[in-house]
Structure 1
């Protein structure tokens, strides 16, 4: 059985809804709102079906972000809905992504953050609500400029506390609150 086709536009729309409702709406990342509102996020839907093809897309996007004006492209979401659907395979690929950064001499300039529909922090159970801070509608690699991350952290008092605040937010919200966040009311 094959998965139903979802257009790249629908994938981007679902990702933007997740950003708006969860990442920004729950303030999981206090630095996300500005590039979202200023439309400085580059959304790329990879057609890759193998990790090797995804690596090619990743290299291309790393080079694009490194060369782009931050006023135009602050950050990139490389969404890959047809590859690395298994979280453990995805997690292993993060080492490949770090290797690509080093090979391109972009280590220290760009970093890769990870989001996946089945994201699981070490030491947690699969269904622990805390994992939902990094659960996205599709597997994706978030490419961030190190300089932007450093500026954001300097401007935010007690940036180290964000992780703990996010865990508390998720525990307060709970699984039912998460479901309600994405439910569509009034749809016929």
Structure 2
């Protein structure tokens, strides 16, 4: 019996790669992936200079985010970024629905203003919702293998909350996109039907 998992790390020689981030565990699924540079998990000694590495762990941990800023290709923030992308797609689907409903009354200027506001709100909301993840992560220095391990440990209550957040960020945007697509299709078909009826009346 296989155990549920969310991340797959692959070790090639002395290097580790985060190959598969799986937010919602799917049993009995065949996973195929390729190893790319962006999946590489560098050792702390590769990301910082010797002066910073020489600091105690509680002091140097404050600078770990600099590695993510320095190299934007790293997958450190894959959970937040994927969730934000899903929400953006859902908002785009809702905008298409509003466009169909409003028709000629659709205000492009207001739509652009709302889009800018939603980008800020969604980004902040998603990052804050995953804030607990970074709080419960910690580093362990492995003197035997001469590397630092990145660990995460949730209490049962935080684990339940984390699962709910992941499910929420996956299901809600998906349902919004599905409902928007179905509603848009129905409204477009309705408009086409009404237009055909008007055309028939004019021909008569």
TM value normalised by structure 1: 0.24
Higher relative contact order (CA 8 A, sep 6+): 1
Greater helix fraction, Structure 1 or Structure 2: 2
Give 1 or 2 for the bigger CA radius of gyration.
Answer: 2
